[in-house]
Structure 1
Amino acid sequence: MADRADEWRGLDALVETWWDQNLATATPEDVANDERGTLIELPRPYSTAGGGEGAFPEMYGWDTYFISLGMLEHGRADLVRDHLVNQLSMIDRFGMVLNGNRSYYLTRSQPPLTADSLVRYLDATGDLEFARESLRLLEKEYDEYWCAAHHSTDVGLATNRDLGDPGLRAELAAEAETGLDFTPIFNGDVRRCAPLLTNSCLVRVAEALSELHSRCGDAERSAYWAAESERRAAIIRSLCWSPRDSFFRELDVERGAQLDVDSLSAFWTMWAGVATETQAAGMVQRLAEFRGAHGLAFTPRPHPSPHAEFSHCQWDWPVGWPPMQIIVVSALLRYGFDELARAISADFVGLQIDEFHRTGALWEKYNVIDGGTDLPLERYPSVPMRGWSAASIAVLGAVAYGRPATTSDDIESELFGA
């Protein structure tokens, strides 16, 4: 029996073959033939959120970021460039990266991660001209969408709001823009809040813009965006840090009070470099509360749903989401907690390997307490899904086991029948 590292290498090699298989297009012909009549045209091929499994067959905003991380692990910067071209095209046409390329998503975005993705693409390729051409649109989205009146609060942080989804209550549509649809952490109405996830992303957008301008030789614009990044980070540290709890907490702006449901969203502050070294050390001590035998649950305990439509929320305990494992591990690595990052990565990838052996699929989300995919039901059960689940195999496995120079085709064939 191969050891766990060999099992990962086999599955990772299989995942690498999926990227081209997962590609979809939204050409004018695709739009004309779309049975639902809602597809939005995009200039380049893209990997859908569900990949070859058929779930979520659109290009989703933040799913694409994590998929691109997996692609970069496998040296597929060509596909990442296509993703960036598509998302920049959305900003050019609609002022934002859409929740997804469907007409019913025209009223909102998702967490802003395109700028970070561009930096990572630039690191991999040195394609400075493409980066230079992208700056105007990234700045446009930050200034004209994320800092627009409907996202602004009196404290200088952003909230989340939808601009008129006809199919969801306003509270739910706004919560969908955070990517966390749906969750108890905002006490039922994110529009009252300044979410840690959203604002940490915006800190990183400004930091990335500073890096990009610096590489393009514009010191003045680089300094401007560095100052904007620190401005927002300082407000988060001032208003959202709880010294008593050693944790960043969601802020109810209207009440001027921190909310009492903790979640892995707090670790986006470490991912973005908002947390001080002392704060990060305190947060890492709290991480044990979220840790199950198979990875990190989104919250440390179950909570009642604040939404009348649902008896449970999927962004809650005992659910382990692949993107959150990636973010927390990235946060730990940024602050030097490498051993813990490796251990958490191995726990979650081990669960994915076991479930792949059992079912022949990767899954959208997992039960990290009991193992498997049996979870409290919100709108639908966990579904087979490649997307960010495949990306987590590539990214977290490399952290846990180290990426080999080459992967053995023999291991892949023996373990997974490829």
Structure 2
Amino acid sequence: MNRSPPLQGPLFEAVQRSDIFEDSKTFVDCVPRLDPKTIRNRFETRRQDPEFDLQDFVYEHFEVPDAAAREATEDEDTRTDDSMGEHIRTLWPQLVDHPSDERAVEYGSLIGTPKPYVTPGGRFRELYYWDTYFTAEGLAASGHIEDVENIVENFAWAVDEFGYVPNANREYQTSRTQPPLFAETVGILERERGIDAVAPYLDALDAEYEFWMSGQEDLDGEGTAARRVVDPGDAVLNRYWDETTGPRLEAFDEDVELAESVPERDREKLYRDVRAACESGWDFSSRWCRDDSLETIRTTELVPVDLNALLYGVESDLARWHAAVGDDAASDEYAAAAARRAEALDRYCWDEQAGFYFDYSFVDDERTDKWSLAAAVPLYVGLASDEQAAAIADHLRTKFLEKGGW
């Protein structure tokens, strides 16, 4: 199996910097009709011809994703007048049971999975990590618990294969993960089938947690960070990160143009911060920026409220699950970690005067001033006290609730 996109180099850059495709993601999702090395060699030879046409070359050598297939959710046959719930139920067959295409896996950017998976639809033709948790809740509500089990199996496989669940099952999205919702997805199986459904996945859940906490040995005191762990001062919390720098292959043109707006010495960090924001799933939000411009993005300098609340939830779940299978030592360790994280999150992210959680900059040693819905996640995982929850709920109603939703 490939572990790097097959067409990086002059051909890739020429296509992504051209206007052949409006969406940069289209080309990285194309499936080469021939071995990528053969295509690269042909490109190097033919591009010397004065009459060379790049678009013709691309369509000759690649299977381009069918634009019509993207619009499946707009098919009149999927619509009903009964209810939104019924409408969603009619969509499941179009989004569920997408076995991996062998050619796309061999030559393209797609990574095969052991079980069928669910795609969001539209331009998103692959399995995404945190999106899939919410999909799993919908599947369970629709009685498709076997599909939820397939999702969990794929997550466990990914942890075994990569050490974590990648952003998506594409080669170009394996350098990062997304908000850790594997445990929440396993929790659906527990809810439907009991604790016995959890036990087979405990090793994978432990491994994912270890991935998030790796790098602690490289922390060097207050205000330092290593990979996804941060020492804001007498605590260990987490941040979003990406293992690589450089423009995202699926947004190459956009990222290169963005980087041209900052000094060359700052571009490597900008790329990393853009990629880290993609790991957060909030791509893109002004909460990651020093001001409201993407040029000032600083994702890797922040301790995010939502990420650390979710990890508190993971620690709490693992404490409970390990106790249920008789591993009291592991249970005690996770419970202690959850308690430490709750105390640290309150210390660094809770603003008593504002009555709200804010992301914390360990570089500036201060909370940001960005009000965001991330403050609701401590309620979701049961971390906030009743008093904190009431204050947050008041702010959500007054600052965020509008006609049509949040």
After superposition, the Cα gap between the structure-2 partners of 1:35 and 1:91, relative to the gap in structure 1 and judged at 3 Å, is: closer
Match of 1:10 among 70, 83, 86: 83
Q: 2:133 touches 2:182 (CA, 8 Å); kept in 1?
A: yes
| Structure 1: gaps spanning 5 or more residues | 1-6, 297-418
Match status 1:23 vs 2:88: no
Query: SS state of the match for residue 153, structure 1?
Result: strand
Match status 1:154 vs 2:231: yes
Match of 1:224 among 326, 333, 338: 333
Match in the other structure for 2:277: 175
Correspondences of 1:142-221 after superposition (within 5 Å): 142-148=209-215, 149-155=226-232, 156-168=236-248, 169-187=271-289, 188-221=297-330
Q: Matched residues in 2 for 1:92 and 1:239: separation?
A: 34
Match status 1:290 vs 2:400: yes
Deviation of 1:145 after TM superposition, in Å, equals 3.5
Match of 1:58 among 116, 123, 126: 126
Match in the other structure for 1:87: 155
Q: Matched residues in 2 for 1:11 and 1:224: separation?
A: 44
After superposition, the Cα gap between the structure-2 partners of 1:123 and 1:9, relative to the gap in structure 1 and judged at 3 Å, is: farther
Q: Matched residues in 1 for 2:327 and 2:363: separation?
A: 39
Match status 1:277 vs 2:386: yes
Query: SS state of the match for residue 212, structure 2?
Result: helix
Match status 1:234 vs 2:343: yes
| Counterpart AA for 1:16 | R
Q: Matched residues in 1 for 2:352 and 2:195: separation?
A: 43
| Counterpart AA for 2:139 | M
Match in the other structure for 1:109: 177
Q: 2:97 touches 2:118 (CA, 8 Å); kept in 1?
A: yes
Q: Which has the higher contact order (CA 8 A, sep 6+)?
A: 1
| Structure 2: gaps spanning 5 or more residues | 1-79, 216-225, 249-270, 290-296
Match in the other structure for 1:49: 120
Query: SS state of the match for residue 286, structure 1?
Result: helix
Query: SS state of the match for residue 92, structure 2?
Result: helix
Deviation of 1:147 after TM superposition, in Å, equals 3.6
Q: Number of residues paired by the alignment?
A: 284
The percentage of counterpart residues that share the same residue type is 29
Q: 1:200 touches 1:274 (CA, 8 Å); kept in 2?
A: yes
CA distances 1:240-295 after superposition (whole Å, capped 9, x unpaired): 11111110011001111000011001111111122111111111111121011111
Match in the other structure for 1:365: none
| Counterpart AA for 2:243 | L
| Counterpart AA for 2:286 | P
Q: Matched residues in 2 for 1:116 and 1:220: separation?
A: 22
Q: Matched residues in 2 for 1:239 and 1:81: separation?
A: 37
CA distances 1:378-416 after superposition (whole Å, capped 9, x unpaired): xxxxxxxxxxxxxxxxxxxxxxxxxxxxxxxxxxxxxxx
| Counterpart AA for 2:230 | T
Deviation of 1:33 after TM superposition, in Å, equals 3.6
Q: 1:152 touches 1:158 (CA, 8 Å); kept in 2?
A: yes
Match in the other structure for 1:409: none
Match of 2:103 among 25, 32, 57: 32
Q: Which has the larger radius of gyration?
A: 2
